[in-house]
Amino acid sequence: MKLQRPKGTNDILPIELKEKEQFKSSDWQHVEQVARSVFADYQYQEIRTPIFENYEVFSRAVGDTSDIVSKEMYDFYDKGNRHISLRPEGTAAVVRAYVEHKLFAPEHISPTKLFYQGPMFRFERPQAGRSRQFHQIGVECFGSVNPATDVESIAMAMRFFDQLGLKRITLVINTLGDKSSRETFRQALIDYLLPFKDELSEDSASRLAKNPLRVLDSKDKRDIAIVANAPSILDYLNEASQAHFEAVKTMLEALNIPYVIDSNMVRGLDYYNHTIFEVTSDAIGNAKTTICGGGRYDGLVEYFDGPKTAGFGFALGVERLLLTLKAEEIKLASNLPLNVYLVALGESVNVAALQIVQAIRNQGFSAERDVLNRKAKAQFKTADKLNSELIATLGEDELNQSVIKIKNAKTREERAYPLNQVYQDFALIYDELI
C-alpha cells in the first residue's frame, strides 16, 4: 500500500520541489530566526504549550459559534475518555498556561510577554494558503491596558514583515469597543439585518442570532451588498472605547505607521475587544491575503478563572507569509554554507578522509566528503552542487606524502598543505585561500 501524507498537510523538505506550496526548510528557519530576533528586541520570551488541549480550552475561549470551534476542530476522545482537541490556534492555550502557572503572580515581570510558534490544526477545505496542518508564529502580552501596548505590538509585527523585505502589505485596524459598546452595537446590527434575513446567505442567516458581528465580514456577494449600509461600530462606541481607539490611532501616527480603518472587520474569534488588526498583502492574485491578525482580549484571563488581566496578541500564518514572500520575489537565506568538500579517491583513503573531515569540523568549520567511492568527476560535481567554498583532494599518493591539495572553488587557486597543518590549524589554511 502506498502511504501518503494526510490531505491538507505538507512535508517541509530541505529541497525545493516544483509542487505548489512547497517551501524549503531553510526558508522556514530564516522566517523563524527573524521573528526570534525582532521579538527579542521587544523582550518577548518563548512559551511552548502542548499541541493538544482539553476541548473546553478552545470551545470556551474561541467561542462555540465561531467557525473554528463549530466546524474546524480536530477533536476526539482519548483512551481515558477525555475530550481532546488538536490546537486550532495559540492564544487560548497560552492563556490557559498563564493562569495555570500563575504567571500573573507579583514575582514575575509584568507585563508578561510571550511568543510561540508551531503547528495548528483546522479541518478546512485545503487550497492555496489554507491547509489542515499549518503553522503560526504568535505573541501575547498580558497585563497592560495602555493603548501603547496595542501600538507596540502592531509595530513589532510590522517590523518583522519589514525585516523580511515585504513591501506590498497594509495594516488594517478596527475597534470592537468594550462589552457595553458592543452590546449596543450588536442590537443595532440585528435590528438592521433582520428585515434582510431571507436575502442573506445561509451562513449569515444562521449567524444572525448567535453571532451577528460575523455577518459583517462575510465573503458572500449578497451579504456584502446588504452589509454595505449596516450601522458602523464606530458610531456605537462609548466614551472610554472611543478614547482607547483615538489613542491607538494617535500613537500609530506618532510612529509613522500607516494604517487604514475597516469598520466591518470583526475577526473570527470571540474573545476580542477594543483594538483588532490585520496585516494583508495584495501580492498574490487579485484578492487580498490576510497573513496576520490579532487584537486586544481583556476579559480572557478572567474567563479562565485568572485575575482580571488585560491581553493583547497576534498570530501570523507562516505558509501564507512564505507565499507572499514568493509572490514579491523576495529571496530568502540560501542553503547551508559549506566550507570544505573533500574529494576522496579510492578505498585506501577512506579512514584518512574520515579523520580529516572530523578534524576540520572539530575546528569549527563545515565539511563534507564522498562516502560512495565515486569517480573524481562525480565528486567534483557534488562539491559544485553544494556550493562548497574549498575543495580538498586526497588520493593515495597525497596520503603517502602526508599532504593534501586544497583549492578555492571560485578563484581556482590551489595549494598543497601538510596534513599536520589541516589537523592542527585549518583556520590558517582557510584564511590563506578565502
The SS3 of residue 260 is strand
Q: Nearest-5° angle of CA 100, CA 103, CA 106?
A: 135
The values of phi and psi at residue 282, to 5°, are -110, 20
The SS3 of residue 327 is helix
Q: Is 23 in the site for ligand ATP (CB under 6 A)?
A: no
CA distance 345 to 354: 12
CA distance 7 to 57: 26
Q: Of these, 143, 293, 306, 313, which contacts ligand ATP (CB under 6 A)?
A: 293
Q: Of these, 23, 134, 185, 312, which contacts ligand ATP (CB under 6 A)?
A: 134
Query: Which range binds ligand ATP by CB under 6 A, 129-137, 144-152, 162-170, 188-196?
Result: 129-137
Query: Which range binds ligand ATP by CB under 6 A, 33-41, 142-150, 312-320, 394-402?
Result: 312-320
Q: Is 296 in the site for ligand ATP (CB under 6 A)?
A: no
Q: Nearest-5° angle of CA 209, CA 210, CA 215?
A: 80
Q: Is 153 in the site for ligand ATP (CB under 6 A)?
A: no
Using alpha carbons, select from 203, 199, 182, 365 the residue that is nearest to residue 276.
Answer: 182
Q: Is 140 in the site for ligand ATP (CB under 6 A)?
A: no
Q: Is 207 in the site for ligand ATP (CB under 6 A)?
A: no
Residues 112 and 306: beta-carbon distance below 8 Å: no
Show the DSSP H helices in 13-54 as ranges: 25-41
Q: Is 317 in the site for ligand ATP (CB under 6 A)?
A: yes
Give min distance, CB of 56 to ligand ATP, in A. 19
Give min distance, CB of 48 to ligand ATP, in A. 18
Which DSSP string corresponds to 251-297?
A: HHHHTT---EE-TT---S-TT-EEEEEEEEE--SSSS-EEEEEEEE-
Give min distance, CB of 72 to ligand ATP, in A. 8
Q: Which parts of 51-110 interact with ligand ATP (CB under 6 A)?
A: 89
Q: Is 36 in the site for ligand ATP (CB under 6 A)?
A: no
- Tell me the CA distances in angstroms from 99 to 44, 93, 343, one per residue in order: 18, 10, 58
Nearer to ligand ATP, 112 or 280 (CB): 280
All cell numbers assigned to 162: 519589514
CA distance 57 to 84: 9
Give min distance, CB of 315 to ligand ATP, in A. 4
Give min distance, CB of 319 to ligand ATP, in A. 5
3-state helix, strand, coil in the chain (%, to 5): 40, 20, 40
Give min distance, CB of 132 to ligand ATP, in A. 7
Q: Is 231 in the site for ligand ATP (CB under 6 A)?
A: no
Q: Is 268 in the site for ligand ATP (CB under 6 A)?
A: yes
Give min distance, CB of 134 to ligand ATP, in A. 3
Give min distance, CB of 3 to ligand ATP, in A. 23
Residues 282 and 288: beta-carbon distance below 8 Å: yes
Q: Is 379 in the site for ligand ATP (CB under 6 A)?
A: no
Nearer to ligand ATP, 12 or 188 (CB): 12
Q: Of these, 31, 141, 291, 409, which contacts ligand ATP (CB under 6 A)?
A: 291
Residues 84 and 76: beta-carbon distance below 8 Å: yes
Q: Of these, 47, 164, 315, 360, which contacts ligand ATP (CB under 6 A)?
A: 315
CA distance 122 to 127: 13
Residues 178 and 280: beta-carbon distance below 8 Å: no
Query: Which range binds ligand ATP by CB under 6 A, 155-163, 255-263, 311-319, 400-408?
Result: 311-319
CA distance 185 to 191: 10
All cell numbers assigned to 82: 477525555
Q: Is 313 in the site for ligand ATP (CB under 6 A)?
A: no
Q: Is 142 in the site for ligand ATP (CB under 6 A)?
A: no
Q: Contact residues for ligand ATP (CB under 6 A)?
A: 89, 122, 124, 129-131, 134, 136, 268, 290-293, 315-317, 319-320
